[in-house]
């Protein structure tokens, strides 16, 4: 399955899967220093925002900037996902990922092979970054939903 098809599958499936979970369960933190299901989805919103920018810049910058890691804990905390209504977090996730999917679909093949430096000094392609984005998303969705 192509990466954009995988992403579109989750854009359709995630709201359905969340509909069967009781709302109070979404805000429970399994441990004080662990994210709730709502915060994990919020983290995936942050990932979408950061990667959307990377996917676009990689297509027009002559010399793509190094992929800079972002402080995931601070993003989740400062975005306040735990205190937001769940529908707002879900709506944000769906909207951001629809835009990510649209950008991926319009990405020309020659851009997918363009090198992109990671902060560790490693060079990866835009295609690799896109695959890694969806792999990361699926990893966290498995945390949320298990094998359901």
Q: Is domain 3-19+34-145 given the CATH code 1.20.120.450 in the classification?
A: yes
DSSP state of 123: E
Residue 144 in tokens: 């949320």
pLDDT tens digits along 77-118: 999 999 999 999 999 999 999 999 999 999 999 999 888 887
CA distances (Å), 121 to each of 10, 47, 56, 68, 136, in order?
A: 32, 21, 21, 11, 21
- Cβ atoms of 89 and 45 closer than 8 Å: yes
* Predicted confidence band of residue 147 (pLDDT cuts 50, 70, 90): low
Q: Is the pLDDT of residue 148 over 60?
A: no
pLDDT tens-digit series, residues 5-63 = 999 999 999 999 999 999 899 999 999 999 999 999 999 999 999 999 989 988 888 77
According to DSSP, residue 34 is labeled: S
Instruction: Please report, for the chain, the start and end positions of each structural domain, with discontinuous segments joined by +.
Output: 3-19+34-145
Q: Which of 33, 32, 38, 41 is nearest to 11 (CA)?
A: 41
Q: Is the pLDDT of residue 67 over 80?
A: no
Distance CA 108, CA 23 (A): 41
């Amino acid at each position: 399955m192509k990466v954009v098809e995988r992403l579109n599958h989750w854009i359709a499936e995630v709201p359905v899967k969340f509909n069967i979970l009781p709302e109070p369960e979404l805000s429970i933190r399994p441990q004080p220093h662990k994210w709730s299901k709502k915060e994990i989805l919020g983290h995936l919103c942050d990932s979408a925002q950061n990667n959307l920018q990377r996917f676009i810049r990689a297509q027009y910058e002559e010399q793509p900037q190094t992929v800079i890691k972002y402080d995931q804990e601070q993003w989740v905390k400062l975005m306040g996902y735990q205190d937001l209504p769940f529908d707002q977090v879900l709506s944000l996730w769906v909207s951001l990922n629809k835009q990510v999917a649209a950008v991926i679909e319009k990405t020309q093949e020659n851009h997918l092979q363009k090198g992109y430096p990671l902060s560790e000094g490693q060079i990866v392609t835009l295609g690799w970054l896109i695959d890694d984005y969806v792999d990361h998303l699926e990893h966290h969705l498995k945390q949320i939903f298990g094998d359901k």
